[in-house]
Amino acid sequence: MVMMRQFGWFTVIVLAIWLIVMPAAAMDTQEAWAALAKGGHVALIRHGNAPPGYGGDPPGFRLDECATQRNLDGKGRAQARALGEAFRAHGVRVDRIVSSPVCRCVDTASAMAVGQVEKSSALLPDGDPKGRGRLSELKEMVANWRGPGTLVLVTHGYTIKSLIGIIPDQAEVVVLRPTPGTDFAAHVVGRIVPPQ
């Protein structure tokens, strides 16, 4: 009762929510790392920090010229290196790493240093609202992954939203368990917050 008088009901409610949510988030992260270490899962990664963060690329964007694109800044490069270190520290075996051909994604995948980076246009945002193009190809890539190790896909927020309905933070990892024969292609196992 004394605590409520000093801090007010709002503070007590916020603290209670924090005490419930934080352990759940930690459990989610632990499950995500455990799934990746086990193998047969997909690590869906939004590229590292690339200011301004949202809103696409500048006018004159060209896929074959990094200078025309939004690119990783120092924080984004550090995040990518930290992701690679975290994968190694958690014993994650990466069997394949595929990136959107956009420079900020390729640079994130390369700086992780977990394998030879392949490029795929399936990881570009899909302009087809019915998902018959790139999104269909991406769903097939995810649903058919069997491992034994992890498939790492480095892509964009809007590509991830089209696939699973959320836009993660830059450098956040969403861990998927492939579910062939379903509309969604995968089940979200957990999320790993971006390195700071």
| Predicted confidence (pLDDT) per residue in 72-121, tens digit | 999 999 999 999 999 999 999 999 999 999 999 999 999 999 999 999 99
> Which strands, in side-by-side order, build the sheet including 150-155?
117-119, 94-99, 150-155, 42-46, 173-178, 186-192
**Residue 177: domain span:** 2-192
CATH of the domain at 63: 3.40.50.1240
Helix (H, G, I), strand (E, B) or coil at 84: helix
- Reported confidence tier of residue 28, pLDDT bands at 50, 70, 90: confident
**8 Å CB contact between 125 and 162:** yes
Q: Domain tally for the chain? A: 1
Closest CA to 42 of 181, 145, 185, 167: 145
Q: The pTM is what?
A: 0.84
**8 Å CB contact between 146 and 40:** yes
